Amino acid sequence: MPAYLTAAFYKFVNLPDAEQLKPQLLACCEQHAVKGLILLATEGINSTIAGPAEGVRAVLAYLRQDSRLADLRHKEAWSHRAPFYRMKVRIKKEIVTLGVPGVSPTHMAGTYVKPQDWNALISDPKVVLVDTRNDYEVGLGTFVGALDPHITRFADLPQWVAESAALNPAGKKPKVAMFCTGGIRCEKSTALLRAQGYEEVYHLEGGILKYLETMPPADSLWQGECFVFDERVSVGHGLQTGPHGLCRACRQPLTATDQASTQFEAGVSCPKCADHTSEAQKNSARERQRQWELAKSRGQVHIGVPLAPRHPRESGDPSQFTPNAA
């Protein structure tokens, strides 16, 4: 049995006391040996945490003691390796950054579509299907027929929406279906479209990961793998860990071909970033990698596990870290 339980969850809910909740929640996680990232904002909570099963479930129970979070839903996945090495609770302006004032998923989100009904919706030729994730996520896999906005961060989506010919044809606005990793980004993106006058807007309940968890491969319209922001890197149907590696320098997913490249050096560089870092930066990464490998050989957890700061292309959304993401 895998030793680590991962739980991913989010909820848009009014939390004006987010600052006061932070230390209490951090203490609870540390008490139960739970690690990961929790984002708090006045608009809600967004998180992925991992640890021993009893610890993760204790944290979830603690959260649900708050009447505002009593119906908090989460997704679970198991792994043999620790997905996270630290526990952080952060206060943010938004739990997933879109950067458009007045867009409220609490009041304006689109219509949820359950995974078992998703195929029928997106097979309708009148539906414009939009993948709301970043370009490197889309590169690993997406739904058949989905539009790729080619964005490098979620906050770029509003501009693409404004300029997209598919979303702005002459005449009536089209019926739109949107999807993301775990559902959170779609709540924001469908709320954005509804605020702009789109009447028929739908999004995949539970996101790609719920679809992959529940949809038999033989019936699936998903192609490829789904990128997740943890040590698993990608998952497929049944949320089974995929074949991709992760560059510790730029945090981009790596195929077997990438890892066979002469530009790949574990913990230091890959073909996607090797030409964009100096030799001094590479030497620093080599030392960090050496220290990590030394700690690993001794059976220790090196707190400085070789992982570069989050790439600017990434949204920093913990709902993408695993079963939940956005």
- CA pair distance 318, 326, nearest whole angstrom: 8
Residue whose token pair is 């040996």: 33
Nearest to 318 by CA among 44, 127, 129: 44
- CA pair distance 151, 136, nearest whole angstrom: 9
Q: What type of residue is 82?
A: A
Are the C-beta atoms of residues 208 and 146 closer than 8 Å to each other?
A: no
- CA pair distance 5, 225, nearest whole angstrom: 21
- CA pair distance 219, 21, nearest whole angstrom: 43
180 in catalytic set: yes
Catalytic residue among 28, 180, 250, 270: 180
- Tell me the C-alpha to C-alpha distance, in Å, between residue 80 and each of 87, 89, 240, 263, 314: 19, 24, 12, 29, 25
Q: Sheet with 175-179: list strands edge to edge.
A: 111-113, 201-204, 175-179, 127-131
Are the C-beta atoms of residues 225 and 143 closer than 8 Å to each other?
A: no
Catalytic center residues: 180
